[in-house]
Chain A
Amino acid sequence: MTCRWALPVLVVIGFIFTVIIEKYQLFNGYTVFVLVTIGINIILCASLNLVNGYMGEFSVGHAGFMGLGAYAASILTVKIFPNVDTPVLFFCAVIAGGLVAAFIGFLLAILSFKTRGDYLAIITLAFLMIVKSSLENIHYVGGPRGLLGIHHLTTLPWTFFWVVVTLWVIRNLIYSKIGRAIIAIREDEIAANAMGVRTREAKIFAFATSSFFGGIAGALYAHQIQFINPSSFDILKSTEILVMVYLGGVGSLGGSILGAVVFTLLYRFLEQLTIGPGQLGSWHFGPWQLGTWRMVIMPLILVLLMLFRPRGIMGLREFAWFLPSRELLTRRKKE
C-alpha cells in the first residue's frame, strides 16, 4: 500500500463503524464483548512486545501493570467520583491508570540497569507477586475479595480508540531514534553501549511505555468485566499475554495483532465446549468439564509452535503497511 493516507482513512472509517455498532447495537452483547476483549488483548500484546520482542528482555510482570492500571482507574471511578458518569472522567481514569503503571514501570526500569536476562525476568516475577499480595492486603480496595460496583464504561469505540493510540505510539517509538536504541539493546547491549547508544534512556522509555499501555489495558479491562480482584492479575494472566505475544511473533506489531486475535477467538471457541456451570477466573466448577481442557490445548499449541516455528507466526516480520521502510527488521536476531 503506497498511499500514505490509506491508514489514517481506514482508522477513521473503523472508528465511525464502531460508533455505529455501539449506537444501533448491530451486534449482540457477546460479539461486542469478544471484540472488546480482542482490543484489550491487542493493547496488552503490543505493549509487552515492546519489552519482550523489541528489547529482547523477558518480562513476566505485565499482568502486574495491568492490575495497577485497573485498580488505579477503578478507584477513581468507583471510590473518588462515584456519581460522575461522563466520558471525560473515564478518559482521565484510564490515563491515570496508565500513568500509575508507567511510574512503577519506570522504577522497574531503574532496577533493570544492573540485572538482565533471567534475573530481570525474576525481578518482574517478584514485582508481579508483590503487586498481587499488596493489593490483597489493602482493605480500601476490598482486599482479596476485590473491587465491586465498577460501571460498564469500556465501549467498543473507546477500545478502538485506545488500540489505535497504542499501535500508533508504539510503532512511532520503534522507528524513532529511541526505538533503534531499544532494538540495539536486543541485539547486543554491551556493544550498543560501546557505540554510544544511551541504553539506560532506551530501557526507561521501553519499560515506561510498555507499562503505561499495560495499565491502560487494565483500566479498560476493569470497566469491561466490572469486577476486579487481585487474583485476576496473577502469573496465569501474564502467561496468557506471553502466549499471545509469542504466538503472534516477537518483535512484530502485526504479529501482536494477529496473536491477540487468534488467541482470543481460539479461547472463546474452546470455551464453547464447556460442559457444566462454567468458570470464574481461575476457579473451575463442575465435576467434569471439557472447557478446562482448553487450558491444556492452548499451551500445547504454544509448545508445538515453539518447536516448529520458534519465532511465532510473524516473528520479526511486519505487515508491509506498518513499515516506514523495510530494512530495519529484516536482520535475524543473533543468539
Chain B
Amino acid sequence: MQYFAQQAINAIQLGSIYALIALGYSMVYGVLVMINFAHGDIFMVGAFVCLLIVSLCPVTLPFIVILLGVMLITALLGALIERFAYRPLRNAPRVSAIITALGCGLVIENTVLSISPYAKPMPVLFKVFTYHVDGITVTTLQLMIIGIAIFLMLGLDFLVRKTPFGMAMRAISFDTKTVPLMGINVNLMIALTFAIGAGLGGAAGMLYGLAYPVISASMGTLVGWKAFVAAVIGGIGDIRGAVLGGFILAAVEIMTVAFLPSTYRDLISYSLLLVILIFKPYGLLGSAPNQKV
C-alpha cells in the first residue's frame, strides 16, 4: 500500500508535466484544427533554455525569474514558428500544415542535437528537502512541480473561461469564418494561443528537467509524443480533456513500470491509446465534428 501511494505521487508529478504539454497540443488543435508536431520540441527547448539561463547568468537568479524567462522565450519561439511556418499555410491543404509542423519539429530537434550531441545534466536550482510521511517520501521539488503545474492549469482555465481573450479563442475554435466579422483580430489571437501553449510547454520542459535531471535533444520526441497521446486520449481540442489525459497516461505508465518490466511501458500506453480510439474515436471528452458534404 505504501509502495502504491509512493507510485501515485510519482504519477501525479509526471501527470502534471504531461498535462502541461498536452494543453499546448490541445489549444492549438482547438483553434486551428492542426496537430502542432513541433510542440514536443518546444518542450525540449524549454529545458535547454533553463540550462542556458542558469549557466550564462553570473548571479543566481530566483527560481520564479528563471521560470518566467523560460516561458517568455519559448512563447516567443512558438509565436515565431506560427508566424513564419504555419500562417502562410492556413488556407493550404491541411496535410501541408502537418508536414510543415513535423519538419519544424525536426529542424528544432536536430539543431539542438547538432549543438549539444550529448545529454546534459540539469543544474540544481534550489535546496531540496525530503519529508517522510507514514513511510512515503515526498520532496519539496515534487510538491513544487505539482503546485506550479496546477497553478498554471488553473490560470489557463481562468484565462479561457473568464476573459475576453478566452472568449475570442473559444469563438475561433467554434467558427473561424464568422469571428473576424465580429471585430476580432484572428491572427493576433492565434499567435497568442501558440505563444501561451508554447510557454506552458517550455515551463513543462523546465519542470521535467528538474524532476529527471538529465536533458537531451531526443527528450522532445520521447516525452512530447507521450503528451500528444495524452491530449488525444482526453479528446484533442478539449482543454480539460488534455489535463485528464495527462494524468491517466501518467498513472498507467507509472503503474506499468511499478508492477511489470519497464520495457512494457510504451507498449501498454500506446495500446491504451489504440483501445480508447477504437471505442471512443474522438477521445474521452471530445465530440465528433459535424461533417458537411
Contacts and interface: CB of A to CB of B under 8 A. Distances in A.
Given A133-B270, A296-B114, A119 B93 contact: no
Given A114-B278, A335-B94, A239 B102 contact: yes
Nearest to B105: A299
Interface stretch (B15-23, B144-152, B259-267): B259-267
Contacts of B291: 190
A27 B185 CA distance: 61
Interface string A122-164: 1101110110111011000001100000000000000000000
User: Which of the four size classes fits the interface of chain A?
Assistant: 35 or more
Given A287-B117, A292-B113, A114 B266 contact: no
A296 B266 contact: no
A286 B263 contact: no
Contacts of B232: 119, 122
A115 B104 CA distance: 26
B111 A296 contact: yes
A306 to B, nearest CB: 5
A132 B271 CA distance: 12
A132 B266 contact: yes
B270 A300 contact: no
Q: Which of B99, B229, B270 has the most CB of A within 10 A?
A: B99
Is chain A's binding surface mostly helix, strand, loop or mixed?
Answer: helix
B277 A122 contact: yes
B277 A115 contact: yes
A235 B37 CA distance: 12
A299 B94 contact: no
A58 B92 CA distance: 15
Interface string B267-293: 100110110011001100000000101
Interface of A: 52, 56, 58, 111, 114-115, 117-119, 121-123, 125-127, 129-130, 132-134, 136-137, 143-144, 188, 190-191, 194, 235, 239, 242-243, 246, 250, 282, 284, 286-289, 292-293, 295-296, 298-300, 302-303, 306-307, 310-311, 333, 335
B273 A122 contact: yes
A194 B35 CA distance: 29
Nearest to B34: A118
Given A114-B281, A133-B263, A194 B293 contact: yes
User: Which of the four size classes fits the interface of chain B?
Assistant: 35 or more
B98 A58 contact: yes
B293 A292 contact: no
B187 to A, nearest CB: 17
Contacts, number: 136
B99 A119 contact: no
B281 A306 contact: no
A286 B117 contact: yes
Given A121-B35, A123-B277, A293-B110, 10 more contacts: A52-B95, A118-B35, A129-B225, A133-B263, A133-B266, A246-B99, A299-B103, A300-B107, A303-B107, A306-B97
A293 B100 CA distance: 18
A210 B93 CA distance: 22
Contact of B282 (A119, A121, A123, A127): A119
Interface of B: 29, 33, 35, 85, 88-89, 92-100, 102-107, 110-111, 113-114, 117, 218, 221, 225, 229, 232, 236, 261, 263-267, 270-271, 273-274, 277-278, 281-282, 291, 293
Nearest to A282: B218
B263 A144 contact: yes
Contacts of A306: 89, 92, 96-97, 99-100, 103
12 contacts: A114-B278, A115-B281, A122-B277, A123-B277, A126-B270, A129-B225, A243-B103, A293-B110, A296-B106, A306-B103, A310-B96, A333-B93
Contacts of B263: 133, 136-137, 143-144
A295 B110 contact: yes
A245 to B, nearest CB: 9
Q: Can you list the 9 inter-chain pairs with the closest CB atoms, starting with the nearest?
A: A299-B106, A295-B110, A299-B103, A303-B103, A133-B267, A133-B266, A310-B96, A129-B270, A302-B103
B106 A130 contact: no
A132 B104 CA distance: 24
